[in-house]
Chain A
Amino acid sequence: MKVDRRDFIKTSGMFAAGSMVLPPFVQSCQNVQISADVKSYLDHFEVTTEMLQKVIATAMSKGGDYADLFFEHKISNSLALEDGKVNRAYSNIDFGVGIRVLKGDQTGFAYSENIALDDMLNAAKMAANIANTSASFNAADYNEKLPANFYKISKKWEDVSVKDKVPFVQKVNDKIFGLDDKVIKVNAGMSDESSYVMFYNSEGRLTYDYRPMVSFYAVCVMQEGEQIENAYAARSVRRGFEWLTEDLVDELANEAVEKTNLLFKAGKPKAGEMPVVLGAGGSGILLHEAIGHTFEADFNRKGTSIFSDKLNKKVAESFINIIDDGTLPNDRGAINIDDEGNDVQKTYLVKDGILNSYLHDRISAKYYGVEPTGNGRRESFRHMPIPRMRSTYMENGPHTTEEIFAAVDYGVYVDNFSNGEVKIGAGDFTFFVKSGYIIENGKLTTPIKDINIVGNGPQALADISMAANDYKNDSGTWTCGKDGQSVPVTLGLPTVLVKKMTVGGTNA
């Protein structure tokens, strides 16, 4: 998205738009040919191409092979409702530049929250220390990289007043209370984010991105006799204010109430190994934990992933295609460029059952002698990029859901999750099931809740014996953590059958 001058450094998104332009800004009197788009980003960050070159030259002064600068300005706002009223708001402004220097696969990293030249040069000197020779650096020619455009929006969040967001949060509360007499509490909220990113590296690449994000959630608490249960519904997408509609409010409210109601009747399955049918959508958490992390190339480069020796080998049934995709329109996991300035792709991790590609950042792509896959991501300018997932999903398979259920004598059906985890080397992964059902003789019977499922990545992947044709992407508020960095992701799955995994439950 093009940034116009008016969208200068916003001190807050709390209020209506267009009000603030931060003086004094540096007029970019560039002596190279740059586009108006790039110029607007240079102005946004109050830097000139000359400054970028000086900082890069300093970063490379100790003999680094490569250096990059990642400028970021992020405006975040959130509103929350408790006890019937939208009675709290939070906002945050983050602004700065991360400077990275590579020497082989070694990384030096520092950042500055101030974008005055001296501050940036100091950070560049620190990062430069990863190399220890002295070297002269010849600046590369500018090469402007036009980013993709995967998240077109109409109305930016910075241009939306608190006043216009409050009614949606209020309505979801009122709607939930109206749906069921058992409701005793509702927590609801909305958060939005507008992030401006500009990237420049020692190879001359200059690019940028504008990243909007919005999340909307509702937690429903119900009481029946002594029993209290809660469940939530949430959506998160890279869209603008136009995304908020009455229909969305209804969808969230209905889902939160339905999910909560289910829990009053739910119990626990028998403990032990059994077939698990994963419902379409959020069950993609299986791929994220069992496969996604272990395919991140930093682990494989170091030989610490259980999939380290599996490239080009058969790892699943031949109808299985698993993808990590940064290009889904308006998806929470989409990015127009990755955080190393590279193009983003739809990457086949598993193609026709064969391990096709790892997820690469710049360092690992170089190590494996392949093109970067656009998976170099970072939480913010305060962090160095590492291989991360985007949207991870499986394509449709050849079976029907009826065939899948019919194949199970006793097992569980799960479709609602809260969290998961994986041990990269051992391959053991888990995901926590908020609710589902027991399957008996091909039929859903008793509801279940609050159980953990554990499996082993390569085994579970090989054990996916059926996949249906009902693929769904889950647009929940999935956030993935690795090395202390959080990034937004999504996931998806058609209904699949995993022959056996260990299900938490009772031995009674």
Chain B
Amino acid sequence: MTKEEKYTLAKWAMNHALENGAQEVSVNISNNQSSSVEVREEKIDKLEQALQSNLSIRLFVDNKYSSHSTSRLNKEDLARFIEEAIEGTKYLSEDEFRTLPKPELYYKGDGPDLGSLDKNFGSVDPVEKIQVAFAAEKEILGSNERIISVSSSYYDGLNERVMVTSNGFEGDTANSYFGIYTNVSVKGDGDARPEFGWGETAIKYNELKKTGTGTTALKRALDKIGAKKIESGTMPMIVENRVVSRIFSPLMNALDGSAIQQKNSFLIDKLGEKVASEKLTLTDDPFIIGGRGSRLFDGEGIATKKRTVFEKGVLKTYYIDTYYGKKLEMEPNSGSTTNLVFETGDKDLDALIASVKRGIFVTGFNGGNSNGSTGDFSYGIEGFLVENGEIVKPVTEMNITGNMKTLWANIGEIGNDVRDDSSWRTPSILFNDVDFSGL
């Protein structure tokens, strides 16, 4: 479907809903196309192609609310789908807090190009895609006698979306992505077969780093050989930038309007208070050119704004959408994160490691969870023991346990090795006094 066709169908669906009993309507239509090739033992292992369309509709009927989606987009089916959805909605309870956003909050269509789309998407020769995957595998195939299995993948995709609402919003987005991923398993000690996967991604094909996934994955898998748990203890912990999100997401989840209103947050009523170390200063910036989380409007159509989330540990904002804004009597400010940018310290990862007398450098998490209302957490970890500033040996089969409020109050140092291939632009972070359990 072209963009114009999507707009036409979305408006038709919106009008059909309005004509059949809905007072307010919001419609999204999306197209996604994707392809992937995975190679193994110098053969194509899997070849996949997909083309997907979806319509989703939010209905506000007699102060009642429901939302629906379907992959069947012919008008005959859609008409019935919408009519039945409206009828069903009438059996729900009223909810006075459900409305579309105020029109003055909508994005008005004058924003810059945020570089989210490769305009040449679709022009990459399929043969070249396969060669890229083979080349990644070839980087390491047969290079080390410990190798058991190597698989490399190339994948790409394009997501296009239009959205219309009955109180005047119209907007569209298009995002592309390209990626390479290599996974390698190696013979370890005993029966263990350590593995590691390393990937590169880009918004534009020409910016995709096409080499190195194989060699990086192999080095990291070999580094894990012989990993064992060590004795339990309270120690500093350095978390690598790639995996910081596992312990950072509970902090961000605690700022969500729904979690606040439903009492499932450990940061209720904390706006303006110091809730973390003063080393934590964080900005939500939707406008970074080429940023993976860049966007001009959110899922409701509300125009995005740059804002401070934490300033020297003081909580400056919650994430409030229209519905929970009404429930909490707070101004809606968009309910989702865009690009999260940390104010960095002056040490890179090596310097962070060098600063630790005895601690653990965490490079991966294994399961675990965090209690939303209390912040109590416990996660499985793997990584390396650090002694006197040097990596000594790999560790695994251990847990870290504690409380999010204490953890984030105990930041030792924020690194400067920010990753830019994720919307959460996390650096490596050193935390003090973390409870590890092992032997």
* Chain A residues within CB distance 8 Å of chain B: 9, 11-12, 14-15, 19-20, 22-23, 79, 82-83, 85-96, 105-113, 123, 126-127, 129-130, 161-163, 166, 184-185, 187, 221, 223, 227-230, 268, 271-273, 289, 302-310, 382, 384, 418-432, 449-456, 458, 502-508
**CB within 8 Å of A: which B44-67 residues:** 44-53, 64-67
Q: Does B81 contact A (CB under 8 A)?
A: yes
- A467 CB, min distance to chain B CBs, angstroms: 23
Measured as residues with beta carbon below 8 angstroms from the partner, the interface class of chain B is 35 or more
Q: Does B379 contact A (CB under 8 A)?
A: yes
| Contact A11 B77, beta carbon cutoff 8 Å | yes
Q: Does B233 contact A (CB under 8 A)?
A: yes
Known: A426-B227, A452-B401, A502-B398. A507 touches B232 (CB 8 A): yes
| Contact B195 A108, beta carbon cutoff 8 Å | no
| Contact B371 A450, beta carbon cutoff 8 Å | yes
| Contact B52 A426, beta carbon cutoff 8 Å | no
| Contact A12 B68, beta carbon cutoff 8 Å | yes
Set B48, B151, B401: member contacting A505, Cβ < 8 A = B401
| Contact B369 A432, beta carbon cutoff 8 Å | yes
* 0/1 string, B260-271, CB within 8 A of A gives 1: 001110000000
| Contact A303 B193, beta carbon cutoff 8 Å | yes
| Contact B88 A162, beta carbon cutoff 8 Å | yes
Nearest residue in A to B376 (C-beta to C-beta)?
A: A450
Residues of B within 8 A of A303 (CB): 148-149, 185, 193
Q: Does B389 contact A (CB under 8 A)?
A: no
* Chain B residues within CB distance 8 Å of chain A: 40, 43-53, 64-72, 76-78, 80-81, 84-85, 87-89, 91-95, 98, 148-149, 151, 185, 188, 191-195, 224, 227, 229, 231-234, 262-264, 327, 366-374, 376-380, 382, 396-401, 435-439
Set B46, B64, B327: member contacting A109, Cβ < 8 A = B46
- B203 CB, min distance to chain A CBs, angstroms: 20
| Contact B80 A12, beta carbon cutoff 8 Å | yes
- B52 CB, min distance to chain A CBs, angstroms: 7
| Contact B437 A107, beta carbon cutoff 8 Å | no
| Contact B194 A426, beta carbon cutoff 8 Å | yes
Residues of A within 8 A of B370 (CB): 450
| Contact B185 A92, beta carbon cutoff 8 Å | no
| Contact A452 B50, beta carbon cutoff 8 Å | no
- A498 CB, min distance to chain B CBs, angstroms: 14
Residues of A within 8 A of B377 (CB): 450
CA distance A127 to B373 in the complex (A): 48
Known: A166-B91, A507-B232. A428 touches B397 (CB 8 A): yes
Most buried by A among B46, B78, B224, B367: B367
Nearest residue in B to A101 (C-beta to C-beta)?
A: B47
Residues of A within 8 A of B368 (CB): 421, 430, 432, 452, 504
| Contact B92 A86, beta carbon cutoff 8 Å | yes
CA distance A458 to B72 in the complex (A): 47
Nearest residue in A to B327 (C-beta to C-beta)?
A: A83
Set B149, B374, B380, B437: member contacting A450, Cβ < 8 A = B374
Nearest residue in B to A123 (C-beta to C-beta)?
A: B49
CA distance A184 to B48 in the complex (A): 48
Residues of A within 8 A of B40 (CB): 302
Residues of A within 8 A of B52 (CB): 113, 382
Residues of B within 8 A of A79 (CB): 92
Residues of B within 8 A of A15 (CB): 84-85, 87-88
CA distance A384 to B46 in the complex (A): 10
CA distance A396 to B337 in the complex (A): 49
